[in-house]
Copies of this chain bind each other. A is one copy, B any other.
């Protein structure tokens, strides 16, 4: 294509993500048709974002983050927004966009805030504090500033079951040991500062720790949450269209689960 310009100068620009040629599409150098069937979507996402393929263990860890983010029922504002748009007759893309627009500071934003806190704590560690003392310093600074620490405590889950699982997978993958140790030291200092009343690491904090360990920047903090929730919101949209009449009044909490009974992968799925 010929080089273009306008009066502010040349408009030609570069991109390092995908090369398109007739009959050949290459993502970060790899033929897409070669990646198909040999690399999971999640590993390909990492490749697109970071430029290199991650190993299987890191792929599995990111898969776990996406699975943990997929859905949290019909009460979160993003699910309600998607359901509501679907109920008015929005097409799938608009209903998903409406839901994504409800993912902000107060819903999903904790990952980004917690990543910043962890990075600050790790700077303390570089400046010769132990992990224990760095965690304690962050907690006491937050208390002095009367700031709530993102990534700890949950309205509903006193012990978020996703946290331990994610940390176990990170250990298997051999990543994020330091950020996780820092989070644990913050959790300990938090409980002490509250007279022994714990405020455990929630799933946002756990994801933040893993993403820092994997070297992601804060500006992509919410991507995995959004990507996971796009799938979850699609399931809610589909259910809205198949089970409900258009333009119903959608109660934000007065709904009950009537899906499959409790079951386990062990029972042979």
Residues of A within 8 A of B (CB): 1-8, 11-20, 22-42, 44-45, 48-49, 51-53, 60-64, 66-68, 70-75, 77-78, 80-81, 84-85, 87-98, 100-107, 109, 156-162, 164-166, 168-169, 172, 217, 219-220, 222-223, 226-228, 230-232, 234-236, 238-239, 241, 243-244, 246-265, 269
Q: CA separation between A54 and B168, bound complex, in Å?
A: 25
Question: Shortest distance in angstroms between A46's beta carbon and chain B's nearest beta carbon?
Answer: 9
CB neighbours (8 Å) of A165 from chain B are: 33, 36-37
- Bound: A49/B8 CA distance, A: 30
Closest 7 CB pairs of A and B: A16-B259, A89-B105, A29-B260, A41-B66, A89-B104, A19-B257, A36-B64
Contact check, B96 vs A100: say whether CB atoms are below 8 A apart.
yes
Question: Is the beta-carbon distance between B92 and A106 smaller than 8 angstroms?
Answer: no
Contacts A32-B67, A64-B36, A92-B222 given: A8-B106 contact, CB under 8 Å?
no
A164 to B32 alpha-carbon distance, docked (Å): 12
